[in-house]
Amino acid sequence: MKSKRAPFVVGTLLVLLLFAANLIFGSVVIPFREVLSVLFTGETSNPSWKIIMLESRIPSAITSMLCGASLAVSGLLMQTLFRNPLAGPSILGVNDGANLGVALVMFLSGGTIVSLAGYSAIIAAAIAGASVILAIILFFSEKVSGNVMLLIIGIMVGYIVSSFISILNYFAAADKVRQFVMWGMGNFSSVSMEHLPLMAIILITVLLCSFLLIKPLNAFLLGERYAANLGINIRRTRMMVFLSSGILAAVVTAYCGPVSFIGMAVPHIARMLTNTADHRILMPMTLIMGGVTALLCNLLTVLPGSGTLLPLNAVTPLFGAPVVIYVILKRRNRSDELQ
Amino acid sequence: MNSNDRIILSAENLSTGYRNSRKETVIQRNLSFSLRRGELTSLIGLNGSGKSTLIKTLCGFLPPLEGEVKIAGKEISRYSAGEFARKVAVVLTDKTYSGAITVRELVSMGRYPHTGWLGKLSHRDNLIVDESMVSTGVYHKADSFLSDLSDGQRQRAFIAKALAQQAPVIILDEPTAFLDVAGRSETLSLLHRTASDMDLSIFLSIHDIDNALMYSDKIMVIRESSPMLFDTPENLVMDGKITDFFAEKGLFFNEMSGQISHYNSSDTVQVGIKGDKLTARWLSNALFRYGFTPVAPKNGIICCNAVSKELIEVLLPEGRMITYDSIGSACSALRERNISGSIRGRAQDEKCEPDR
C-alpha cells in the first residue's frame, strides 16, 4: 500500500507547490514579500500589484488547476470507453461544437468582444455549440451499438463542424479572424473572478459524478460483453460517460478556449505513475496530475518581465507530446491496449 | 432427489439468430434441452452451425427469436442486468483491453454483481476471490499482470473470475481455442471437476472432440438443417451418432480413438491389424495416413501382425508372409503394392490367418 500512496502524496505536494509558483511568478515581476503580504494581509505598497494578484493570478491558478483536472478526467473517460490511448476530450467533436458557437458569435456580432457582456456571450455560445454536438453524439449512441462506429461518427461530425468554421473564417473580417485565432490558442487567465464560481461549481459537480463511474469503467476494461455480464448497464454507462466527459470538455473550452493535449497526455502520466488500470486509483491520480500539468503549463506561458504571455496551446504540446511518446515506448511490453 | 430438481437452465423450442429492422436471420430452430447442476455440457458443431449464436443467446447478449430460455425457472429476458450476473457467468474469446490489471483485480471484478457502487470488497468477498484463484490454480499469480501470463494461465484467471461471480451457470465460448495440448486437457479437466465439486452447470462450445468426449457429462451436437443431438458422449459415440455427424461433412470419426480425419471411402484399401496393442495402434495411425483403412483381420485382405516396434509381419492374401523391421518399412512396402494395383481384386478365397 505504501508504494500506492506515494504518488498521491507527491502529486498533492506538486499541486500546492505549483499553485504557489503560479501566484509568485507572472509577466509582471512582483517581489515575493509583496505577494505574501497581499495574500495574508491584503496590504501592498503598489495598488496595481494587488489588482494583478486578486484579479489575475489567483483566478488563473484556480482555473488552471480545475480545468487541467477536468480535461484529464475527461480524457481518461474517453480512453477507457473507446479503448484507445489516443482518445481525448476533443474526440467527440465537442470542442469543435464550442469553436463553431464562438465563431458564430464573433463573426456575426457587430461589436467588440472585449467587454464583459461579450465574454459572457462567448461562453454561452461555446456551451450551446458543444451541447448541440453532445446531443448528436448521445443520439447516435442510442442508435449505434459499436463504440468504434461512434468514434468515427464523432470524428466525422468534428470535420463537418470544422468546415463550417472554415467557411465563416473565409468570409470574416481580418480583425475578427485574428480574434478567433487568439481564442483558439487557449488561455487559463481569461476567467475573471466574476465568472469563476459558476465554472468551478459545474466542473466540481461533474468531476464528483464521474467518480460514480469508477466501477463500470473498470468493468469496461474487460470489454463490453464482459461488463454486461458483470451486471453493468452498458447503454446507461455509455451515456453517463459521454455526458460527463462532454460537459467537462465543453465547459473548459467555453471558458478557456480549446486547450490541447492535457486531456490526452495526463491519463498516460497517471498510468505510468501508478502502474495500474484500476480506476479507483487511476481516476484520482489523473485528477491530481491534470491539476499539476495545467499549473505547470500555465507557469511556462509566463515570460517573466516581458509583460506578455505565450499562448497556452503553444506550451501544452511541447510538454505533452514527448510525454506521450515516452509513455508509449515504455509501455510497449504491456501494450495490449495499443492493439 | 428428483433429477428434474437439478435442472438449472432449460430451453424450449428456442430459435436463435439475428434480427434487425429489415429481416430476421434464423440460425437454429426448435432447440429444446436442459442443463443440470453438477454437469459439464459441451456444444459441438462445425463452423457456421450456430455454436456462437447459441452461446450468445444463452448469455443474454442476443434475444431469442422464438421460444424461451429459463434459468432457475425464470425467463432470461425478465432478469435485470444485475440479477442475471448472479445467475450466469461467462468466459468469452473477446480480446480484453488492458494487460495492466492483475489477476486479483480481474477475479475481484467477478464480485461486482455482489458489491456496492465502488466495487469495494468485504472480508467475505475477498475470501471468495482467494478461493476462486486457489481452485483454478492461479493463486500464486495473484499479483501478476494479465499480460505476463501464459494463455493457459490467463484462461484459468478468467475462469476464476467466473467462479467468483458465484453463479449457478457458467458459459464458456471455446475455452480451449488458443491453448496448447496440455492447456486444453488441463482446462477441461478443471472445468469438469469444478462442475461436480461446486455443483455448477457448465456449458461450453468446443472444437476438439477428443477432449470433449473425455470430460463432458453431456454432449450437444448442432448441425445446419438437422435436429440437434443431446446425450452422454458414450451413447452418442456407440450409437454411431458422432460418426454420422462427421460423415456428413466427409470426415471420418474413429470410434476407437475418438479422433477425426479426412476420409475418402471410395479410395481406401482395408488392412487387417492385430498384435501388440500399442504397436497395432500406431501401425494403424501410419497406415491411415497413407490412405489405408485399418480394420480387424478378416479373409481376403492383407493382414499385419504387429509383434513389436522392430517386427511387423505382413501376411499377403495369397498366404505369403513378409517381415519388416519397422512400421515405416512395412508401410512403404504396402504403399508400393497399393500403387502398383497388386493388392486390389485378389482372389477372395485365399485366407488371412486368424489370430495366433
For an interface test with B, give the residue of A217, A224, A229 to mutate (most B CBs within 10 A). A229
* B353 within a domain of the structure (yes/no): no
Full pLDDT tens readout for chain A, 339 residues: 446 788 899 999 999 999 999 998 887 888 888 888 888 887 778 888 888 888 889 999 999 999 999 999 999 999 998 888 888 888 888 888 989 998 888 887 765 555 556 778 888 888 899 889 888 888 888 787 777 788 888 888 889 999 999 998 888 888 888 888 888 888 898 888 888 999 999 999 999 999 999 999 999 999 889 999 999 998 889 889 989 999 999 999 999 999 988 999 999 999 888 888 899 999 999 999 999 999 999 998 887 666 678 889 988 888 888 888 887 787 655 544 433
d(CA A132, CA A9): 40
Residue at which a domain ends, from B190, B222, B249: B249
CB contact at 8 A, B107 and B133: yes
Residue at which a domain ends, from B249, B273, B302: B249
Joined together, the cell numbers standing for residue A149 give: 462506429
Give the residue numbers spanning the domain of B82: 3-249
d(CA A305, CA B190): 72
User: Does residue B81 share a domain with residue B195?
Assistant: yes
List chain B residues with CB under 8 Å of A268: none
* B350 within a domain of the structure (yes/no): no
Element (H, E) at B218: strand B218-223
CATH number of the CATH domain containing B304: 3.40.50.800
d(CA B40, CA B138): 21
List chain B residues with CB under 8 Å of A231: 81-86, 112-113
Interface of B to A at Cβ within 8 Å reads 59-61, 81-86, 88-90, 92, 94-102, 105-106, 109-110, 112-113, 115, 117-119, 145-147, 165
Closest CA to B162 of B216, B101, B111: B111
User: Does residue B270 share a domain with residue B203?
Assistant: no
User: Does residue B232 share a domain with residue B183?
Assistant: yes
Phi, psi of B193 (to 5 degrees): -65, -45
User: Does residue B305 share a domain with residue B163?
Assistant: no
pLDDT under 50: residue ranges of chain B: 342-356
> For residue B81, what is the nearest residue in chain A, using CA coordinates?
A231
Q: Do A225 and B61 touch (CB under 8 A)?
A: yes
Q: Nearest CA to CA, how far is B92 from chain A (Å)?
A: 8
> For residue B83, what is the nearest residue in chain A, using CA coordinates?
A231
CB contact at 8 A, B276 and B299: no
DSSP 8-state assignment for residue B94: P
d(CA A101, CA A295): 27
Q: In this predicted structure, what is the pLDDT of residue A106?
A: 84
The alpha carbon of residue A294 and the mean position of all alpha carbons in its chain are separated, in whole angstroms, by 9
Q: Do A225 and B113 touch (CB under 8 A)?
A: no
Q: Do A225 and B92 touch (CB under 8 A)?
A: yes
User: Does residue B298 share a domain with residue B212?
Assistant: no
The DSSP secondary structure of B239-303, one letter per residue, reads TTHHHHHHHTTTEEEETTTTEEEE--GGG-EEEEEEESHHHHHHHHHHHHHTTEEEE---TTSEE
> For residue B172, what is the nearest residue in chain A, using CA coordinates?
A226
Joined together, the cell numbers standing for residue A200 give: 468551478
* B323 within a domain of the structure (yes/no): yes
User: Does residue B14 share a domain with residue B55?
Assistant: yes
Interface of A to B at Cβ within 8 Å reads 80, 83, 212, 214-215, 218-223, 225-226, 228-233, 271, 275-278, 280, 333-337, 339
d(CA B323, CA A127): 92
The DSSP secondary structure of A292-339, one letter per residue, reads HHHHHHHHHTB-TTSS-B--HHHHHHHHHHHHHHHHHHHGGGGGGGG-
Residue at which a domain ends, from B214, B249, B284: B249
Q: CA of A96: how far to CAs of A104, A200, A247, in Å?
A: 12, 22, 13
Instruction: Give the residues across from B18 on adjacent strands.
Output: B25
Joined together, the cell numbers standing for residue B294 give: 485399418
Domains and CATH numbers, chain A: 15-338 (1.10.3470.10)
Buried b (16+ CB within 10 A) or exposed e, B18-51: eeeeeeeeebbbebebbbbbebbbbbbbbeebbb
* B356 within a domain of the structure (yes/no): no
Complex ipTM above 0.90?
no
Number of Cβ atoms within 10 Å of the Cβ of A50: 17
Q: In this predicted structure, what is the pLDDT of residue B95?
A: 67
* B258 within a domain of the structure (yes/no): no
CB contact at 8 A, B19 and B69: no
* B316 within a domain of the structure (yes/no): yes
* B209 within a domain of the structure (yes/no): yes
- Give the helix ranges, DSSP H, for chain A: 2-24, 32-40, 47-51, 58-82, 94-108, 116-143, 147-171, 174-183, 196-211, 214-220, 224-229, 234-256, 262-274, 279-300, 312-330
Reduced to 3 states (helix: H, G, I; strand: E, B; else coil), residue A20 is: helix
User: Does residue B83 share a domain with residue B15?
Assistant: yes
Burial of B161 (0-12, 13-18, 19+ CB in 10 A): buried
Q: In this predicted structure, what is the pLDDT of residue B355?
A: 43
Out of B101, B119, B165, closest to residue A215 by CB: B119
Q: In this predicted structure, what is the pLDDT of residue B267?
A: 61
d(CA B326, CA A222): 54
User: Does residue B214 share a domain with residue B158?
Assistant: yes
User: Does residue B182 share a domain with residue B323?
Assistant: no
Residue entry with cell 458414450: B234
Q: Nearest CA to CA, how far is A208 from chain B (Å)?
A: 13
CATH number of the CATH domain containing B214: 3.40.50.300
Q: Nearest CA to CA, how far is A230 from chain B (Å)?
A: 5
User: Does residue B171 share a domain with residue B56?
Assistant: yes
**CB neighbour list of residue A148: distance below 8 Å, 6 or more residues apart:** A82
Q: Nearest CA to CA, how far is A78 from chain B (Å)?
A: 14
List chain B residues with CB under 8 Å of A337: 97-100
d(CA A174, CA B162): 63
d(CA A275, CA A144): 33
User: Does residue B225 share a domain with residue B278?
Assistant: no
pLDDT digits (tens, 9 = 90+) for A309-327: 888 998 888 888 888 888 7
Out of B83, B86, B119, closest to residue A218 by CB: B119
Closest CA to B154 of B80, B206, B101: B101
* B36 within a domain of the structure (yes/no): yes
Number of domains chain B contains: 2
User: Does residue B65 share a domain with residue B27?
Assistant: yes
Q: Do A280 and B118 touch (CB under 8 A)?
A: yes
